[in-house]
């Protein structure tokens, strides 16, 4: 299954050349990339009320001036966004304990710079597919809740009896 054509890969890295190279790499595989120069800039978008409605993932640099990638990740975890927006950490200074801790907390992957372009984009595509699945599941859940809310009290009683057998 290919990621949806409207899927977006958010790139948060303080190095403009890295953002541009990653955006070019993604375009070469027909993926849309949107860059942010720092964690504060991306967090501001979230604080303005943006919520993922289309498949997406986040390529997040670990070390940046100001808010670090790890601090932004903590905020994403608090907001419950890491399932719908899988996070792939990028780091030129990776250490095993940090990588393990982030993956245990819900990060999709942790890639050390320099990385293999093909391997990174393969992981991005996997993350986008996961995001697509989570969004689809949430939409189905919302539709089910809406249908249940439309039932009369008598219909709910019948449904309970059917479920109980």
Residue 3 reports pLDDT greater than 70: no
21-43 pLDDT, tens digit per residue, is: 999 999 999 999 999 999 999 99
| pLDDT confidence of residue 2 | 63
Structure tokens at 106: 């819900």
Q: How many angstroms separate the CA atoms of 136 and 120, rounded? A: 24
| pLDDT confidence of residue 100 | 86
Higher pLDDT, 12 or 155: 12
Would you state the torsion angle of the CA atoms of residues 129, 42, 33, 64, taken in this order, to the nearest 10 degrees?
-100
pTM of the full structure: 0.85
Q: How far is CA 102 from the centre of its chain?
A: 14
Alpha helices (runs of H) in the chain, residue ranges in sequence order = 16-28, 39-47, 69-78, 96-104, 117-150, 153-164
Residue 97 reports pLDDT greater than 70: yes
| pLDDT confidence of residue 113 | 82
Q: Which of 10, 16, 68, 62 is nearest to 40 (CA)?
A: 68
């Amino acid at each position: 299954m290919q990621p949806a054509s409207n899927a977006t890969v958010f790139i948060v890295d303080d190095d403009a050349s890295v953002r541009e190279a990653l955006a070019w790499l993604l375009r070469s595989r027909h993926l849309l990339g949107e860059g942010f120069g720092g964690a504060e800039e991306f967090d501001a978008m979230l604080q303005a009320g943006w919520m993922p409605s289309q498949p997406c993932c986040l390529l997040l640099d670990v070390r940046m001036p100001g808010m670090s990638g790890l601090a932004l990740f903590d905020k994403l975890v608090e907001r419950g966004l890491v399932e719908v927006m899988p996070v792939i950490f990028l780091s030129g200074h990776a250490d095993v304990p940090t990588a393990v801790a982030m993956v245990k907390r819900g990060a999709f992957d942790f890639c050390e710079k320099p990385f293999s372009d093909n391997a990174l984009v393969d992981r991005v595509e996997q993350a986008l597919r996961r995001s697509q699945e989570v969004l689809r599941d949430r939409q189905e859940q919302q539709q089910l809740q809406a249908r249940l809310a439309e039932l009369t009290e008598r219909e709910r009683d019948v449904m309970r009896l059917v479920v109980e057998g």
